[in-house]
Structure 1
């Protein structure tokens, strides 16, 4: 896991922000990422949807700029799915879904020092991902979400069962907002992963700050 041991990674997963170019409205993605970091985002995933992908060189430049921001704010920076890009720019790792590259193969490509996150929905998927080298899991969708049209929901019981079954940190994903985040209290998660709850807001920094505050309360922590 490179610069992060498991306790450091657990803390870094409290407010996990995933980028989405759809919400920019003329702004630069790197600027919105910095606003989220100023507001308290503790982890950044660069995610490019197929319908809005940049040309490779432009994406590489953008990724390098966001990586530099994350270094400055001392938070992990991972790439969604693209192992080759993560290696090319020296990202801290990648996050993969069930339909992406298999976790063990990702680990063999990245080596032991980079972070691997895996999206899971069942205890079986979670245990397999952990055994193949995942460092953390993203479990969801815990609420209805418009960010991933094909996302099916995971019950609170299933979320608790996954958290109990694995020894690696778990973050909840899918449809989480400032209004519903408290419903996740007691589930066993170490944090939340969000897209629109931060990046769809006009005040990205303020949205991140408010969501971080409520997430800390939800986790039963006294400070960040």
Structure 2
């Protein structure tokens, strides 16, 4: 876990019972300082004792999710517009994943949000913003300069020929700016 503070379980295909068992096992083996966030499954996050949930902006309304989670649990929301970011923050999200910032193969049908929108979101909500989408090592500094508190880099690591080397390169890019 090399310095990670959060572990997000992003598994969309498992039935609820299997996902619950997987979440419980992950929670059991994670270092106590690492917070487990379940992606898209509030029911499983609550039942498995996860530290929080990450939802899409089209999921359960943020204010409802906030009430269901209760105090001390983390609520993250993926958003794709400035208006949705403001709404999710006002409704109780703890952090936002905003993007896609740059063009990506997985989001070809949607225009990139760009650094200007990222800057506008970061300036208008009082919670951490993480930039997503098309984030390469050489784009990390521009995302942080636009107000992102961090970046999410799934394919930048998972599609790399050397995933461990990619993680090291992203960490170095983040450290150079921070």
Normalising by structure 2, we get a TM-score of 0.88
Residues 61 and 152 of structure 1: is their aligned pair in 2 closer, same or farther, counting only changes over 3 Å? farther
* Residue 22 (structure 2) pairs with residue 58 (structure 1): no
Residues 41 and 208 of structure 1 are in contact (CA less than 8 Å); yes or no, is this contact kept in structure 2? no
Q: What residue is the counterpart of 1:213 in the other structure?
A: 172
Structure 2 distance, partners of 1:42, 1:151, is 31
CA separation in 2, counterparts of 1:68 and 1:205?
24
- After TM superposition, list the pairs within 5 Å mapping 1:1-224 onto structure 2: 37-38=1-2, 40-49=3-12, 53-70=13-30, 72=31, 74-147=33-106, 152-217=111-176, 220-221=177-178
Unaligned runs of 5+ in 2: none
Any gaps of 5 or more consecutive residues in structure 1? 1-36
Question: Does the Cα contact within 8 Å between 1:140 and 1:152 map onto a contact in 2?
Answer: no
Query: Would you say the 8 A contact 1:81–1:101 is kept in 2?
Result: no
Aligned residues: 178
| Distance in 1 separating the partners of 2:45 and 2:110 | 25
SS at 2:145's partner residue? coil
Q: After TM superposition, give the deviation of residue 110 of structure 1 in Å.
A: 0.6
| Distance (Å, rounded) in 2 between the aligned partners of 1:64 and 1:191 | 27
What do you get for the CA RMSD once the two structures are aligned?
2.1
Cα shift readout 1:51-71 (whole Å, capped 9, x = no counterpart)? xx124333222222322344x
SS at match of 2:169: helix
State the SS of the aligned residue for 1:64: helix
SS where residue 58 of structure 2 aligns? coil
Structure 1 residues 200 and 60 mapped into 2: Cα distance closer, same or farther (>3 Å)? farther
* Cα-to-partner distance string for 1:52-96 (whole Å, 9 max, x where unaligned): x124333222222322344x0622221111100000111111111
Question: What's the TM-score, normalizing by structure 1?
Answer: 0.71
Higher relative contact order (CA 8 A, sep 6+): 1
How far has the Cα of 1:155 moved from its partner? 1.7
> Deviations 1:8-49 (Å, cap 9, x if unpaired)?
xxxxxxxxxxxxxxxxxxxxxxxxxxxxx23x4442221123
